[in-house]
Structure 1
């Protein structure tokens, strides 16, 4: 799924940019490091609430616009 791949790319890029480990991200989110790893590997598919928690822990904003919605709708066809 396009949005799940984009979520993983954004989080991984931001971890690298901030020099943050998955363990630190997990601590900030109040979840285990293996759980973070499972989301980032694609084993778990995050809901919008989980995506929001990741972005809040990374101090980045979650913005979904018409382009993303259209891309998602087209990928379902």
Structure 2
């Protein structure tokens, strides 16, 4: 699933950029480190509420745009 892959890429890139461990991220989210690991490995598929928890813990804004979602596939290059 493309969105799940993009979510994992964003979170992993941000963890590396901030020098933050999965353990620290889990602490900030009030979940266990294995739970974070399962989302980042693709074992669990996050819902919007979980994505929001990850982004908040990383200090990232969460922007959703219905305009982007409505673009016809043939107009995306």
TM-score (norm 2): 0.87
Q: Which has the higher relative contact order, 1 or 2, with Cα contacts under 8 A spaced 6 or more apart?
A: 1
Aligned to 1:20: 20
Choose between structure 1 and 2: higher helix proportion. Answer: 1
Moved over 6 A (4+): none
Query: What's the CA shift for 1:70?
Result: 3.9
TM-score (norm 1): 0.87
Task: Give 5+ residue unaligned stretches, structure 2.
Answer: none
Query: What's the CA shift for 1:21?
Result: 0.1
**Aligned alpha-carbon RMSD (Å):** 1.6
Query: What's the CA shift for 1:7?
Result: 0.4
Aligned to 2:35: 35
C-alpha offsets along residues 37-74 of structure 1, whole Å, 9 cap, x if unaligned? Answer: 0000000000000000000000000112232x247x96
Number of residue-to-residue matches in the alignment: 72
